[in-house]
Amino acid sequence: MATEVFAVSQLGNSILRRPAQQISDCSDPQLQTLIDRMLATLKQSNGVGLAAPQVSESLQLFIVASSPNPRYPNAPKMEPTAMLNPKIVSHSAIAVKDWEGCLSIPGIRGLVPRHPSIAVEYTDRQGCIQQQEFTDFIARIFQHEYDHLNGIVFLDRVESTHELITDQEYLKLIAQRQGEKSTSK
């Protein structure tokens, strides 16, 4: 039987602007079901990350699940990972701008400055503390989802409205970049 998916909260829903609550019991069966449903929702929506506030649960939980898909054709592959009570322990001094989208803000992409290298700590779904370093696209996903736990959406980080485009224009831009790379070889 297929796992039921969530409707994704959209920009304007107040839950997206509230700080999320810490999780105290990782073994709670309801929490485990929430994680399974978030994984199914992410897969169905072609997302690379999903935070609990986006599915109307004010909990410090998100999933990072990078893999190539129609929304992110060049995404690297990463095993879907549930991250509970995550935190950024350290980050690179610089920030790099790149395009981001969000399942809660469909149809729009923005150039968002993020740290290209971060060290993080989180609890996995089995209750074990994990420490990892992420770079580039995976670091970007983590920071994007981490923002959701603090009531921040990517539009808050865009420095100019001139750095917003539609999904259609973003996909054209990606195709153009791929074409330039293949002709320069």
Distance CA 49, CA 185 (A): 32
Distance CA 4, CA 158 (A): 33
Strands 117-123 and 81-91: antiparallel
Instruction: Just list the catalytic residues.
Output: 145
Q: Does residue 32 contact residue 79 with C-beta atoms inside 8 Å?
A: no
Q: Does residue 110 contact residue 99 with C-beta atoms inside 8 Å?
A: yes
Residues 6 or more apart whose Cβ sits within 8 Å of residue 22? 60, 85
128: three-class secondary structure by DSSP: coil
CA distances from residue 167 to 9, 40, 110, 174 in whole angstroms, order as listed:
19, 23, 10, 11
The backbone region for 46, taken as left when phi is positive above 0, alpha when psi lies in -120 to 50, beta otherwise, is left
Question: What ranges in 17-118 are assigned the alpha helix state H?
Answer: 29-45
